[in-house]
Amino acid sequence: MLDAFIASPPALIVATGILVGTASALLGTFLVLRGKSMLTDAISHSILFGIVMVWLVTSQTEGVIQIIGAALTGLLTVALTQGLSRTRLMRDDAAIGLVFPALFAVGIVLLNVYARNVHIDQHTVLLGEISFVWLDTAEVGGRNVPVALLVLLPMTLVNLAFVLAFYKELKLSSFDPGLAAALGFLPGLLGYALLALVSATAVAAFDAVGVILFLAFVIVPASAAYLLTDRLWLMLVMASVIAILSAILGYLLAVRVNVSIGGMMALVTGVFFVLAFLFGPRHGLIAQWAVRRAQAKRNETRTLVAHLYNHEATAGESEENVTRALIEHLGWNRQKARAIVLRGLDLALVHRQGHLLALTELGRAEARAILEPWRG
């Protein structure tokens, strides 16, 4: 079983995608809630600088030391960004827009100068190549296991452990950093730990999917989940499930039309996002539209009963409380007026007396609740 798995490139590719997706979605949930999506973008670019620096110092292009280097680069990015925006000479979005291109540019120039033919290049960092993960293997227990899996599996477990161990603290500091600080939970430190883990995961993932597709896995499933649920644990589960499904479906689609596998996986997360955006149960576009529509309908019947109540038993009743008056005085068109009257009849707020529209007891009570709420 295990041997069959390791011998099958498709299984290894999909497994890599699933691990990248899960590791990213777990952290992404908190990053989206904290409004740190674009900081993640910045970090995922500036790790090129970290990768090159670590390579220059240790001549290693992967492994634990690279992951630690990336974590430090991520923290450097965050510190530089915060330092710049603390000078109050620019906003923090401008600070992000200055820091990561500068680090990325230095990284590329260092590559130009020192690393003409080395395995790391800007292309790999940005794009990755998931279809070749099964080629780069290391021997573990007599089997040749892809290095990507050896790096990504522990990374995913570390992220999972972090989320489980600090679930309460992460939850509190994401939703109410002020309270978290007052209770002594050090939300700042936790935020740094989160961003350091993001950078480490970015390096672990860059070989497979490249940093920008990694960014898609961090932000998009979590955002889709955010539109689907109000519960944090459910959001974590949904984000992970969306990421896993995207990895599987993305692979199948990419193979069918023969395009970039990583790109297709990321694109499928977008399909899930659009579905959540449209059909989310409470925050989706259609749900919002339905709520607004129901509100509008309710307002129309309320206008009808209020109008009838105002003119009930007055001299103008025979002129005001007829369908024609609704068209002429309330500015409704004929169809709309008829639909609203029919709805009033259906709801038993109104009944017809000849051509006069009269309120039922229910309708009168509704009108009183609107116009004379003090009568109880």
Binding site for another protein (CB under 8 A): 32, 35-38, 40-41, 45, 84, 87, 89-91, 93-94, 96-98, 100-102, 104-106, 108-109, 112-113, 116, 122-123, 126-127, 210, 212-213, 215-216, 218-220, 223, 226-227, 254, 257-260, 262-264, 266-267, 269-270, 273, 277, 283, 285, 288
Distance CA 373, CA 184 (A): 48
Which residue, 35 or 184, has its beta carbon nearer to another protein? 35
Which residue, 146 or 210, has its beta carbon nearer to another protein? 210
Which residue, 104 or 185, has its beta carbon nearer to another protein? 104
Least gap, CB of 306 to another protein (angstroms): 31
Distance CA 130, CA 261 (A): 7
Determine the 3-state secondary structure of 115 from DSSP: coil
Least gap, CB of 305 to another protein (angstroms): 32
Determine the 3-state secondary structure of 201 from DSSP: helix
Least gap, CB of 104 to another protein (angstroms): 6
Distance CA 51, CA 39 (A): 18
Which residue, 227 or 244, has its beta carbon nearer to another protein? 227
Tokens of 118: 């080395």
Which residue, 122 or 323, has its beta carbon nearer to another protein? 122
Q: Are strands 143-146 and 350-353 parallel, antiparallel or unpaired?
A: unpaired
Measured in degrees and rounded to the nearest 5, phi and psi for residue 330 equal -95, -5
Least gap, CB of 43 to another protein (angstroms): 12
Which residue, 123 or 231, has its beta carbon nearer to another protein? 123
Which has the closest alpha carbon to 95: 82, 107, 106, 104? 82
Least gap, CB of 338 to another protein (angstroms): 32
Least gap, CB of 107 to another protein (angstroms): 8
Distance CA 16, CA 22 (A): 10
> Which residues have CB under 8 Å from 68's CB, separation 6+?
200
Least gap, CB of 219 to another protein (angstroms): 4
Burial 267-297 (b: 16+ CB within 10 A, else e): bbbebbbeebbeebeeebeeeeeeeeeeeee
Least gap, CB of 149 to another protein (angstroms): 23
The 3-state secondary structure of 143-188, one letter per residue: EEEEHHHHHHHHHHHHHHHHHHHCHHHHHHHHHCHHHHHHCCCCHH
User: Are 250 and 268 a contacting pair, CB within 8 Å?
Assistant: yes
Least gap, CB of 294 to another protein (angstroms): 18
Which residue, 230 or 372, has its beta carbon nearer to another protein? 230
Which residue, 218 or 341, has its beta carbon nearer to another protein? 218
Q: Are strands 356-359 and 350-353 parallel, antiparallel or unpaired?
A: antiparallel
Distance CA 362, CA 367 (A): 9
Which residue, 226 or 309, has its beta carbon nearer to another protein? 226
Q: How many residues does the chain have?
A: 376
